[in-house]
Structure 1
Amino acid sequence: MNSPDHINPEQLLSILFQSPNATAVYTGSDIKILSANSAMLKFWGKDRSVIGKNFTDAIPELIDQPFPDILREVWNSGITYYAKNYPATLEIDGELQESYFDFEYKAILNEKGKTEFILHTAFEVSERMAAQKLVLEKSVSEQKLNEELSAINEEYTATNEELSSTNEELMTAENSLIKLIAELHDKEKRFRFMIEQSPVAMASLKGENLIVDIVNDIVLNIWGKDRSVVGMTLPEALPELKGQPFLGILKKVYKTGKPFYGNELKVSLSHNGNLTDRYLNFVYHRTNVDGAEEHSILIVANDVTEQVLARKNVDEINTRLEIALDASSLGSTEVHLATGVMKSNDQFKRNFGFEPEEEFVYADLFEAMFPEYREKVKALVKESIRTNGIYKAEYPIKWRDGSTHWIQAHGRPRYDENGKGDRMVGMTLDITDKKLFEQQKDDFLSIASHELKTPITVVKACLQFLYRIKDQPFSDTHIRIRQILQKRPLRKRVFRIGIRSIYMQSDY
């Protein structure tokens, strides 16, 4: 054990940082992370930005797990804590994953007997737990087999009483069965069985030449091959890998012993003579046998082609939707009702007088809306959530520069897994020009209606007067009336032209 008289904390941190074992150092009652080496950061699924943060701030998914309380207890008591086969749920690449660990929280005390640091070392034992589970299952199978063998031996014993002459043959058979049971315990058999029965694609490549040693049906399906590839080198079994990076990666893993993790990497494989692109998540891990010069590489893979292509299709659809929205000047948004956070496109923000780079939240929308419309729109939103229907509304807004604009809005709610409406997806259109035109049209029609009433009254009066003097000789009175009637249609034609102009513009 290192003594504080021989190594200072800075040297200790430097040494621990270089260790291949997962190591971290904490200090303070709030468990501040002083240091964490690459192995520990990999366990956490984090990068070096967590250094200097409190433990729960750096790894928030552990807040409701026992580890923060255990660390505080070690800090306060100065008593080291050790655990084996302990489960932990960590966020790796955006997904929560459960793994098992052997770990120790070692209290480093100062000369006053108080905790000054906590040294955290950990080893992932998920594979060991899986192996123990497999061993347990095998033990049950062996027990059942032993029970069956016991029953057979009872039958053999009964038979021996009647057929003593066959005793030697029965003993030979019993020895053969014992030898078979012993072979089932052989490590290589278990390893082969584990690979071949694995629910994921697995293969084992032997030696520096990457000879295909063990494969299961799932990996053969990904490769597009059958079991005739067993015994071939991988370049012989999969010649299409030439020019792709995978053979080089495998040779590097074999040489260095450092595992390689591939995430959604594209590989071209030959299926029935046709090259097919697939996307794989995989790991290459060298298995070391003590004292052996030849190693093997274990391949574990998962075909994620469908997921990757589906995501790309969604991205393409979203791109096309954005183009369509931009072309139609439609604003789109998704608002989280509990927080007011909105994910909006640029046009949506422009409709409310905001620049694309500015933050725009749900409260800003109602702040811009004229006060007398706010409660009505909120009621429409609540009703659409209650009925799972579409809400439609038109309302005026005031931009921050004081100008007035009109918005036409459509929206529909989205629900969480419990059936609670938690989001609203909506679209908006600036209809200010349309509203302005409608106002101009109403004003014009009002004026036109007033102006048309006067000439119609005059025409009626002239017709009535002409009727009364129809039997009289043609005179100057007839001429004046005719002149009046000839002027009136011209005025009406002017109004008809104005009305026709209005309706032609309203067709846009």
Structure 2
Amino acid sequence: MKTAAHLFTSEKLLDILFLSQNATAVYTGEDIIIQTANDVMIHYWGKTRDVIGLPLETAVPELKGQPFLGLLQNVWRTGNSYEASETAADLLIDGKIKTFYFDFLYRAVKDENGKVDCILHTATDVTERVAGRELVEAAMAQKIVLDTEQTLNEQLISSNEDLRLAQTSLNMLNEELEERVQSRTKALTESERRLRSLMTHAPVAIGVLTGRELFIESANAKILQVWGKTAAIVGQRLAEALPELQGQPFLQLLDDVFTTGQPCYSDEAKALLEHEGVLKTYYFNFLYQPILNEAGVTESIFIVATDLTEQVKTRQEVEQSEEMQRFTIEAAGVGTWQFYPDSNELTLSSRFKEIFGFKEDEEISFERVLSKIPQDERQGIEQAITNAVTGGIKYNVEHPVDGFED
């Protein structure tokens, strides 16, 4: 008895693979030919899908003089994968060279003989995370400078008073010292102005909370937009300005930071915020960085946050769509399978096992599935799968299946 199999097409399998939110590309050869790349990777490059099939150096010429092409060629020659974090890359976006930061992996995918078949490239844009950390570090360094300047000013003023009382003949020296104080005070004021300007125009949400009661000392336009408030809340306690935070974890997290002096960082934290009288759901990456005085006691907390609401909701919609697709497939009685060439892992649905005559609870290898395909059909199926995985080519293949096993 032979049963026609209802299989996912290779096109559908690649479509599902490239739904990943991580940027993904596949390269082959010493010249690093782009065999395929998902939309996220194409977006990172600032290109169109016309680059598929080109050498990476031709498709993204601004990579010349940067380390990435050499790293990829070394992975191809040696078969040793390469991984790095927060690496700077200069890319041509909208006609301008811009610097981005990525976590990435160049994984060497080998055949059964240990020879490199292709390189799987996955990447995550961490530019905002790096920029936020650098901004915090700059702000903390600026705080140290300001504290040092203030201490010097106080010392100079005290010295002036002592000199006036002790020696009236040193008036000229006092005047000189006072001029220095004024000059340093002016420099201090300018430093504060620059820091506030940096915070005001930063592309991420920034605020400063002072004291254990978390008074809002400053808030840039971005964080006011995130909170759904105006500058009128500056000077208020955070709990009064945003009463909807009661019952959410953020006030307690801030209190813990104030107590311990340890920073707090979170990815994709869910928050309910009131905008125009309506309570809405948002998602953020945020950092609570304590600012300590000379005694090591927390005086204030520096907040940096990035709004990820659109990205998270888009991913959730994709996940819901995939779940609905799974329900539809099961309802239609279609058998499905997933094969991961780099690990040789195979996953079969219950309907697929039924179509191929396998038992529900038995472990099935990829070779065993191929053995159910008649010999005269098998080589063509194997070649179609190989081409789909390594070349980004879609296939729709029909073939008979050998009879059920006892």
TM-score scaled by length of structure 2: 0.52
> Which residue is equivalent to 1:395?
400
Indicate conservation of the 8 Å contact 1:369/1:398, yes or no: no
| Other-structure match for 1:231 | 235
Q: 1:262 Cα shift?
A: 2.4
Aligned equivalents of 2:392 and 2:309: distance in 1?
A: 39
Q: Which amino acid aligns with 2:214?
A: L
Larger RCO: 1 or 2 (CA < 8 Å, sep 6+)? 2
Summarize the Cα distance change of 1:362–1:129 in structure 2 as closer, same or farther, 3 Å threshold.
Answer: same
Match of 2:19 in 1: none
Distance of aligned partners of 1:179 and 1:130 in 2 relative to their CA distance in 1, 3 Å threshold: closer
Q: Which amino acid aligns with 1:238?
A: L
Please tell me whether residue 182 in structure 1 is matched to residue 187 in structure 2: yes
Are the counterparts in 2 of residues 90 and 98 from structure 1 also a CA contact under 8 Å?
no
Please list every run of 5 or more consecutive structure 2 residues that lacks an aligned counterpart in the other structure. Answer: 1-80, 88-100, 106-122, 143-178
1:131 CA drift (Å) = 2.9
Aligned residue number for residue 266 of structure 2: 262
Change (3 A) 1:222 1:377: same
Contact 2:207 2:219 in 1 (8 A): yes
Matched, 1:201 2:205: yes
- Give the deviation of 1:373 after TM superposition: 2.1
Q: Does 1:280 align with 2:284?
A: yes
Contact 1:370 1:398 in 2 (8 A): no
| Structure 1 residues 294 and 342: CA distance shift in structure 2, 3 A | closer
Does residue 289 of structure 1 match 2:296? no
Deviations 1:382-415 (A, max 9, x none): 78888945423131224443xxxxxxxxxxxxxx
Shift of 1:211: 0.7
One-letter identity of the residue aligned with 1:369: I
Cα offset, 1:288, TM superposition: 0.5
2:356 to 352, 356, 360: 352
**Deviation at 1:337?**
5.2
Which digits, 9 at most, give the CA deviation of each residue in 1:52-87, with x for residues without a partner?
A: xxxxxxx98469x9xxxxxxxxxxxxxxxxxxxxx9
- The residue identity in structure 2 corresponding to 1:392 is V
Question: Deviations for 1:272-326, whole angstroms, at most 9, x for unmatched residues?
Answer: 1111111122122211121486610111111111222222222222222222211
Equivalent residues in 2 for 1:105-116, closer than 5 Å: none
Kept in 1: contact 2:102–2:125 (CA 8 A): no
- SS in structure 1 of the partner of residue 399 of structure 2: strand
Change in 2 beyond 3 A, CA 1:355/1:261: farther
Counterpart AA for 2:294: D
Q: Is the 8 A contact 2:290 2:298 kept in 1?
A: no
Q: What RMSD in Å do the two structures reach over aligned CA positions?
A: 4.2
Q: In the superposition, relative to structure 1, how do residues 381 and 295 fare at CA in structure 2: closer, same or farther (>3 Å)?
A: closer
Give the Cα separation in 1 of the matches to 2:277 and 2:250.
Answer: 20
| Aligned pair partner of 1:131 in 138, 153, 159 | 138
Q: Secondary structure at the match of 1:262?
A: strand
Give the partner amino acid of 1:228: A
The DSSP-based 3-state class of the residue aligned with 2:401 is strand
Listed one character per residue, the Cα deviations across residues 23-47 of structure 1 (whole Å, up to 9, x for unaligned) are: xxxxxxxxxxxxxxxxxxxxxxxxx
Residues 61 and 96 (structure 1), Cα distance of their counterparts in 2 relative to 1, 3 Å cut: farther
Residues in 2 aligned to 1:62 and 1:268: alpha-carbon distance in whole angstroms? 35
2:322 matched to 1:322? no
- Kindly state the Cα deviation for residue 192 of structure 1 after the two structures are TM-superposed: 3.0
Q: Deviations over 1:229-249 (max 9, x none)?
A: 111111121111122222122
Give the alignment partner of residue 215 of structure 1, picking from 203, 216, 219.
219
Percent identical residues: 28
**1:195-218 CA deviation, whole Å, 9 max, x = no partner?**
323221111101111111111111
- Tell me: CA distance 1:244–1:317, structure 2 relative to 1, closer, same or farther (3 Å): same
Mapped contact 1:195–1:214 kept (Cα < 8 A): no
> In the alignment, which of 226, 244, 248 is matched to residue 248 of structure 2?
244
Change (3 A) 1:268 1:384: closer
Separation in 1, partners of 2:383, 2:283:
48
Asked whether the 8 Å contact 2:261–2:298 carries over to 1, the reply is: no
> Are 1:307 and 2:311 counterparts?
yes
1: CA distance, partners of 2:343 / 2:271: 43
C-alpha separation between the residues in 2 aligned to 1:313 and 1:271? 23
Gaps of 5+ in 1: 1-58, 66-86, 100-125, 136-173, 402-508
- 2:377 maps to 1:373: yes
One-letter amino acid of the structure 2 residue matched with residue 271 of structure 1: H
- The normalised TM-score by structure 1 is 0.42
Give the corresponding residue for 1:472.
Answer: none
8 Å contact kept, 2:384–2:395: no
Residue type of the alignment partner of 2:321: I
Number of aligned residue pairs: give it. Answer: 253
| Residues 390 and 128 of structure 1, relative CA distance in 2, 3 Å threshold | closer
**Inter-partner Cα distance in structure 2 for 1:254 and 1:376:** 66
